[in-house]
Amino acid sequence: MAWNYSEKLKDHFLHPRNVGVLEDADGKGEVGSVACGDALTFYLKTDPQTGRITKATFQTFGCGSAIASASALTEMVIGKTVEEALRITNQDIADYLDGIPQEKMHCSVMGREALEAAVAAMRGEKRAADTHEEGKIVCHCFGVTDRKIERAIRENNLTTVEQVTNYTKAGGGCGTCQAEIEEILNRVLEERRREAPPRPAAAGGARMTQLRKIALIQETIEHEVRPVLQKDGGDIELIDVEGDTVRVSLVGHCAGCMAAGFTTGWIQDKLRELVSDRLTIVIEPPGAAEAQR
C-alpha cells in the first residue's frame, strides 16, 4: 500500500476504537471545522470517586490520520486522571501511533485540542481558544492564532515555516501569512535560545573519533559557513565541541540579526549534512569565547 502510514496508524484507521456519541458524557469538546478539512468531537466521562477517565469516545470528519489520532487518544486517556490526560502532547499521540507523516501532524494537534476542550467543558471553563479573546488570527485561511502557532513551535521544537504549516495548517492556504509566521518563529527561537540551558554532551559518534569530528567541524565552518555569513557582514566563532554539541557564537551583524534563528538552523543543517547528523548547535552570547579563555 502506498500510504505513508505506520501499521499501527492504519490499524486505528481501519478499526477505530471508541467511536460514537457518549450520551452521559461529563465533557464534550468540538474542534476544527469542515471548511478547514477536518473536525473532531471528543467525549469524556470520569469516575467522581477516583477522578479517573472511565470512558472516552470520538467522532471525526477527516482523513485517515485524523481518525487514527482521535482513536489513539481515546485509548490513551482512559484510566488516566484528568490531570494526567492533559499532560498528553500531540507528539505523544504521534508516538503512540508509531509516527504520523510530517504533513499530517496537525491531526495530532487537533486531538490534543479536542481533549483540552472536553476537559474545559467538563470543568465549566471557557477555553481561551474558544473565546478567541487571546491571540490574534495570523492565518485567515484556517483561522490559526499566533498563540496556537507559538505553542506548536515550543512544544514540538519547530524550526521552519513548513513545519509550522504541517503542525497547525497555518500558511498552508493562500500563503500570504508566511512572513508573519516567520516573524513568530524567529521571536520564539530567539526566546528559546535565551531560556535554554546548555545541553549536556551527547554520546560521541561511533565511527568518528572526536579529533576527526572537530577537524571536520572546523573545516565546514571555515569553508561553508563563514563565507556566507561574512557576505552579510557577520561572522561565526567556534568555541568548543563537547560530544555532539557544537558551541559557537555569532558575531557582527549575525548576532543581533532578526534572522538569527534561521541562521542557526541553517548552520546546524550544514554541519549535520557535512559532518554528522547527530550534531546539535548551541549559540553562545558573543564574547563567550573570551570568557572561556
Which one is catalytic: 107, 139, 177, 254? 107
Size of interface with another protein, in residues (CB under 8 A) = 50
The set of cell numbers assigned to 48 is 467522581
Q: What sections of 28-81 are H helices per DSSP? A: 64-77
Least distance to another protein, CB of residue 7, Å: 14
Please report, as a single letter, which amino acid is at residue 130.
D
* CB contact set of 162 (below 8 Å; sequence gap of 6+): none
Least distance to another protein, CB of residue 40, Å: 7
Residues comprising the chain, all counted = 293
In the residue annotation, 107 being an active-site residue is answered as yes
Least distance to another protein, CB of residue 165, Å: 7
Three-state DSSP class for residue 46: strand
d(CA 105, CA 69) in angstroms, rounded, equals: 10
Q: How many CB atoms lie within 10 A of CB 3?
A: 11
CB 93 within 8 A of CB 167: no
In the residue annotation, 63 being an active-site residue is answered as no
Residues 55-94 that bind another protein (CB under 8 A): 59-64, 66-67
Distance linking the first and last C-alpha atoms of the chain: 58
Question: Which position among 90, 108, 145, 263 is part of the footprint of another protein (CB under 8 A)?
Answer: 145
Contact characters 90-129, another protein, x per CB under 8 A: --------------x--------x---x-----------x
31 contributes a contact to another protein by CB under 8 A: yes
Residues that bind another protein (CB under 8 A): 1-3, 13-14, 16, 19-20, 30-41, 59-64, 66-67, 104, 113, 117, 129-132, 135, 137, 139-145, 148, 165, 169, 172-174
